[in-house]
Structure 1
Amino acid sequence: MIQKLQRRHFILFGVAPLIAVLATPLYWESLYHGPFELLLFFGLWIVTGLGITVGYHRLFTHRSFQTSAPVQTLLAVLGSMAAQGGVTSWVAIHRLHHERSDTEEDLHSPNTHGHGIVNRLRGLLHSHFLWMRKHPFPNVLRYAPDLLRNNHVSMVDRHYYKIVLSGLMLPAVAGYLYRGDLNGAISGLYWGGVLRIFVLEHIIWSINSLLHVLGRRDYHTKDSSRNIGVLGLVTLGESWHNNHHRFANSPSFGLKWFRLDPGFWTIKALEKAGVAWDLRMPDKSEIDARRIGS
């Protein structure tokens, strides 16, 4: 039953958006009409991306800060709209990833398929998105018991598919209201729904694949996690992956104020607004002392 649900989710939100985007040149003239479509894309990409990095990842997985119940619910809803799985299952898989990173028990490591170009490519494709076709499901009682007790998260989980659908329908309705016809609804659905899901998925998935193969290692870790700081903006701070694996409970992945980390900037804004607290920042001396070569 679980594997059937995995395949269905993979086809709906992994394969279908890919096919739609590859076919874009065939119907481009009916999709793009002006800046409104770009506004839909970037606006929903940013808020659902923050739902993943701030909500799913930094709050629910690593508990790097505390926040109010309404903010928890909002972040869980925005993360669900990204169509990357329900929050409890996402958290369980990611906690397992940190526990078993780059071992045979890691569900999406690119480094467990052998040597040579062919095997390395197989590993990258597996870790990027093919692993989602069929994989062992972590025991949520072990890996996410806190979320099972969280009524707000459980409520969002129960309505996961409805929330994903709402994330598709909202831009479609916006497109219809703005353009006044069915073509506007279709272009809104594409830019704010299908393309937005596709782009955000592949940005997040590249953290699992590329950032365990390419980039710089500033800290010794038990895995091969790496940093590509120039991608900090587009990944909303997730590309400081080696930093994150060394200080997993830190709300800041960049660790320094001048590094691009929009996810952390959002958490700091929530703190300034009085709805986030207990940020688990590592000491500066610890950050500096644990760098490779220190």
Structure 2
Amino acid sequence: MRMHLGSYGPATATGAVKLNRAASTRERVITFVTVCVPGLALLASVPYAIYFGIRPVSLVLLVVLYCVTIAGVGIGYHRLAAHQSFKASVATRVLLAVAGSLAAQGPVLHWASAHRHHHPTADRPDDFHSPKVSGPHSFGRVAGLFHAHVGWLFGAYTENGWVFRAPYADWTRYIPDLLKDRALCKVNKHYFDILAAGLLGPALVAGLITLDPLAAVDAFFWAGLVRIAIVQNCTWSVNSVCHVWGTRPFRARDLSANNALIALITFGEGWHNNHHAFPTSFRHGLRWWEFDLNAAIVLALARARLAWDLRQPSPEHRLELLAR
């Protein structure tokens, strides 16, 4: 998701909207940096690995932080903040939002507002990241996939072609409840601090473990920049791949599809048709064989009494929406 420098605390409706719109230019600059720099690191990772390899400590930190970040986006940003599919303690909400912030997809309030905008407009003209691209300047499916995957962060396709602008979702319309959550607003305010810690933390850990400055640089590259790029592309694939390829067992008003590969690498977010059919369900994998580690983590939190009021569709509701 794109960066947002707008309202950082419980604010009046006017203040939230004014700050949200005023941040548009800065958002594009920050988006360019936080998308392109990790992306370039990912491209450089092949020659880097050939010439320098990857140290074991960097590999361990990359895997651990990948898991933490993917779960943070899927559970903290998506299922909890955006959809309120369960309730959680203040400490749990904060930790999950912090984990999601490590993905460099923008602060939690911005992410949630953009996502709530997506659901009622999915694959329609107002959708920020639909792969359905039309108009005289369309390049068909390839352009649609690019737009849904990453292009939408910088602009949009219109009937007049490409328009370089930042998508805007009105906070007071889409996340009035979250603007009242002081814990999430606090995390939102310290987004860049969290992001910096996610980049520098692995370097510090590797340096302290090995007492080798080069190990710190290696960890910064792999567990910092490359990890962010991998997480970004995996989660962006839900917007692109899961609206083009996959199965659609449930009726939905859009092109959302279940894709097992994307579900595997995103800990369950790839069961996208299931999710669009039942957006407030804490489970996205609705059948026993549909891998959904994020749902298992939420269940574990519930058993520890850190989460409660877990929402999921009834068997009758599922039968009602089965595609015929």
Instruction: Please give the range of the TM-score, normalised by the shorter of the 2 chains.
Output: over 0.9
- Call closer, same or farther: CA 1:116–1:262 in 2, change over 3 Å: farther
Q: Does the C-alpha gap of structure 1 residues 24 and 270 become closer, same or farther in structure 2, counting only changes over 3 Å?
A: same
The residue type equivalent to 2:55 in the other structure is H
Q: Would the alpha carbon gap of residues 290 and 275 (structure 1) be closer, same or farther in structure 2, given more than 3 Å must change?
A: same
Which letter maps to 2:317?
A: E
Looking at structure 2, the residues matched to 234 and 160 of structure 1 have their Cα atoms a distance apart, in angstroms, of: 25
Residue of structure 2 in register with 1:167 after alignment: 198
Give the number of equivalent residue pairs.
292
CA contact (8 A) 1:6 1:132 kept: no
**Offset of 1:116 from its aligned partner?**
11
Indicate how the Cα distance of structure 1 residues 25 and 282 shifts in structure 2: closer, same or farther if over 3 A, else same.
Answer: closer
What residue number does 1:138 align with?
169
Does 2:135 correspond to 1:107? no
CA contact (8 A) 1:84 1:201 kept: yes
1:200 is aligned to 2:204: no
**Residues 231-240 or 280-289, more deviating:** 280-289
Superposition pairs of residues 144-155 of structure 1, within 5 angstroms:
144-155=175-186
Alpha-carbon separation, structure 2, partners of 1:33 and 1:116 = 46
1:215 pairs, out of 246, 250, 268, with: 246
Q: Which deviates more from structure 2 when the two are superposed, residues 2-11 or residues 223-232?
A: 2-11
SS of equivalent to 2:131: coil
Query: Any idea what the Cα deviations from partners look like across 1:261-284, whole Å, max 9, x if unmatched?
Result: 011010001011111110111112
Contact 1:55 1:75 in 2 (8 A): yes
Provide Cα deviations, 1:152-180, integer angstroms capped at 9, x if missing partner. 01111111111100000110111111221
TM-score when scaled to structure 1? 0.95
TM-score by length of 2: 0.86
Distance 2:27 2:151 in 1: 11
> 1:274 maps to what in 2?
305
Please list every run of 5 or more consecutive structure 2 residues that lacks an aligned counterpart in the other structure. Answer: 1-21, 155-164
Structure 1 residues not aligned, in runs of 5+:
none
Distance 1:232 1:141 in 2: 32
CA distance in 1, matches of 2:152, 2:321: 33
- Runs of 4 or more, structure 1, over 2 Å off, are 24-31, 112-119, 229-233
Aligned with 1:84: secondary structure? coil
Deviation digits for residues 110-139 of structure 1, max 9, x if unmatched? 113359992221111111011112323111
Encode CA deviations 1:69-109: one digit per residue, 9 max, x unaligned: 01001111111111110001100000000011111110111
CA contact (8 A) 1:212 1:224 kept: yes
Backbone CA RMSD of aligned residues = 1.6
1:238 aligns with 2:269: yes
